[in-house]
Amino acid sequence: MLWPREAGEFIASKCKDVQINRDGVKKAAVTITQAVIDGNVKLETFTQNELFPLHKGLSEEELANWIFLVDSLNFNFWTPDGEPKFTVQWNGKTYKGYMAMVAAINRAIDEGKRIYDPKYYTSLSIDEVKHIFRSLTSSTMPLFEERLRVMKEVGETLLDKYEGSFAEVIKKCEKSGIRLVELVTNDFPSFNDTAEFEGQKVAMFKRAQIVVSDTWLLFRGQGLGAFLDIDELTMFADYRVPQALAYFGALEYSESLTQKLKKQTLFKSGDREEAKIRGCSIHAVELIVEEARKILREQGTNPAGLNSIKTDFFFWEYRIKNSQLLMKIPYHRIRLDKPQEVDDDPMDETDLAEKVSWGEAMGWLEKFVNWAERHPAFPVAMVMRGHLYYKDVSLLRQQSVKQADIRDMFKRAAKKAEAAGIIREAQAASTASNATAKSPASTASNATAKSPQPTPEPEPVAGPSRPLTIDDLLDLDDPPPYGGFSSDSD
């Protein structure tokens, strides 16, 4: 298996959809070089510092546990365009995405919750976790169920193997960041971030390297944060830093890949496209660091303090601080292929059929088709197929109504129809029709019925504006009869 630095170089040498542009690399290097000269690329200047809980009376061991929990949950925070973002307010500021998650954990500490303690967070109910990560918006933290699973995994492993202390994991590595990455990826499966590319297993190890870098940053390279090989780590291949690299022109995408990104194609973890972008991002940052160090030496500045970690921090913050400017740059979107269930005894298909009503299932399907209708990744033809599928399912639903339920169904339908005035209209129409049939004019008409004359058109009968459908016979809470979706549907 190739580790991140070698993996990045290998991927960059093999792929055509993503290219590293040397002019863009130099442009990015000049930008970070100026920031180094201005004193803005130091451990104490990075934005992450404002979220470290350094003044809450936590011990070094508790701070290490805090870091490990935060970094365990640091994945996949993007939100589909047009949907409310996961947002948390803490300490007078509003945070979104990853930083909202960190702020929520700090808010829980302020509320007296020992959220950093694996004994505590592995014992929480789902509702308690939902409360801790509550959002200012209607959204929840993305991939909530998967994050619950990860919390359980890392907490139980810490308790079983390391006495509930991530500090013990760090100490076992004897001041080696590489050894810590290796241990974390071996003992905590959710950190084992690898892919297959051109027959070669390649490692990205994003979160495992972030654990090392955040520990180094929080403890300022001292004590638990002292790693003698810190410069051996690479950038942390996510989806935001590549966006910044593409903005500077260091990364260039083929037309076909660009179109996929613009259409917000959803890739799976480990897909070739994802591996290409992440691998080339790693190698591009290595080249930027090399170029920046060269420029610094030429200007008489010691380049020793600049490494891949600081470069990653810098361009990640650049993306955050210039979000409006970089919004036009498409980025790759990943969702887990099949999130594992938190429930140890998930519903099987039989349970699902018994516990989910037609109304619920139809409601879900309606929401999905409506969402697809507004999402740019879905072509018109596919949306139309979705509408037709909804209609087919509606017919299937009608056919599934059991004969034994007909009597009760009609009783409910009668109450519903009466409330809507349908029965009164039908009764009035029926009375008017009977009265017409018994009138003298009607009798005379019958007497001459044998004489040849044109058949008159039947008079329209006042009554319901449309025939009753099977949906009229169902509960009021069920979805309305199919007629397309309104633009304000969820």
d(CA 245, CA 329): 10
Task: Determine if residue 230 is left, alpha or beta; phi over 0 gives left, psi from -120 to 50 gives alpha, anything else beta.
Answer: alpha
Looking at the structure, do residues 327 and 291 belong to the same domain, yes or no?
A: yes
Amino acid code (one letter) for 87: T
Check whether 315 has a pLDDT greater than 80: yes
Which residue do the tokens 């959710």 mark? 190
10 Cβ contact partners less than 8 Å away, ≥ 6 residues apart: 2, 197, 198, 200, 202, 279
For the stretch 317-363, pLDDT in tens is 999 899 888 888 988 887 654 333 333 333 333 334 444 555 667 66
Structural domain includes residue 151:
yes
268 Cβ contact partners less than 8 Å away, ≥ 6 residues apart: 274, 334, 335, 336, 337
The tokens of 92 are what?
């007078």
Euclidean distance between the first and final Cα of the chain, in Å? 45
43 Cβ contact partners less than 8 Å away, ≥ 6 residues apart: 49, 216, 217, 220, 221, 310
Structural domain includes residue 341:
no
Other residues' Cβ atoms within 10 Å of the Cβ of residue 361: 15
Looking at the structure, do residues 401 and 288 belong to the same domain, yes or no?
A: no
Structural domain includes residue 213:
yes
Structural domain includes residue 438:
no
Looking at the structure, do residues 220 and 273 belong to the same domain, yes or no?
A: yes
Looking at the structure, do residues 128 and 206 belong to the same domain, yes or no?
A: yes
Looking at the structure, do residues 43 and 164 belong to the same domain, yes or no?
A: yes
d(CA 90, CA 395): 50
pLDDT at 379: 75
pLDDT at 260: 93
- Residue where a domain terminates, one of 270, 305, 335: 335
Check whether 128 has a pLDDT greater than 80: yes
Residue 282: C-alpha distances to residues 181, 194, 288, 289, 437 (Å): 16, 14, 10, 11, 88
Which residue do the tokens 């994945």 mark? 75
- Residue where a domain terminates, one of 281, 305, 335: 335
310 Cβ contact partners less than 8 Å away, ≥ 6 residues apart: 41, 43
Looking at the structure, do residues 183 and 44 belong to the same domain, yes or no?
A: yes
Looking at the structure, do residues 224 and 81 belong to the same domain, yes or no?
A: yes
Q: Is 245 or 367 the better-scoring residue by pLDDT?
A: 245
Amino acid code (one letter) for 148: L
Looking at the structure, do residues 354 and 331 belong to the same domain, yes or no?
A: no
Domain that holds residue 390: 349-432+464-490
Check whether 402 has a pLDDT greater than 50: no
Looking at the structure, do residues 82 and 105 belong to the same domain, yes or no?
A: yes
Q: Is 440 or 142 the better-scoring residue by pLDDT?
A: 142
pLDDT at 160: 97
Looking at the structure, do residues 367 and 268 belong to the same domain, yes or no?
A: no
pLDDT at 452: 46
CB-CB contact of 7 with 279 (8 Å): yes
- Residue where a domain terminates, one of 285, 313, 335: 335
Check whether 279 has a pLDDT greater than 60: yes
Structural domain includes residue 459:
no
Region 457-474: mean pLDDT is 41
226 Cβ contact partners less than 8 Å away, ≥ 6 residues apart: 175, 219
Q: Please tell me the total count of domains within the chain.
A: 2
Structural domain includes residue 280:
yes
Q: Which of 98-102, 175-179, 251-255, 474-478 has the lowest mean pLDDT?
A: 474-478
Looking at the structure, do residues 296 and 394 belong to the same domain, yes or no?
A: no
Structural domain includes residue 453:
no
Which residue do the tokens 């029926």 mark? 430
Looking at the structure, do residues 225 and 267 belong to the same domain, yes or no?
A: yes
For the stretch 31-64, pLDDT in tens is 999 999 999 999 998 878 899 999 999 999 999 9
Residue 417's pLDDT band, with cuts at 50, 70 and 90, is low
Check whether 305 has a pLDDT greater than 80: yes
Among residues of the chain, what percentage have pLDDT more than 70? 74
Structural domain includes residue 445:
no
> Mean pLDDT in the chain?
81
So which residues are the catalytic ones?
238
d(CA 46, CA 332): 25
What b/e readout covers 377-402, taking b as 16+ CB neighbours within 10 angstroms?
A: ebeeeebeebbeebeebbeebeeeee
Alpha helices in 80-205 (DSSP H): 97-110, 118-121, 126-132, 144-161, 166-172, 177-187
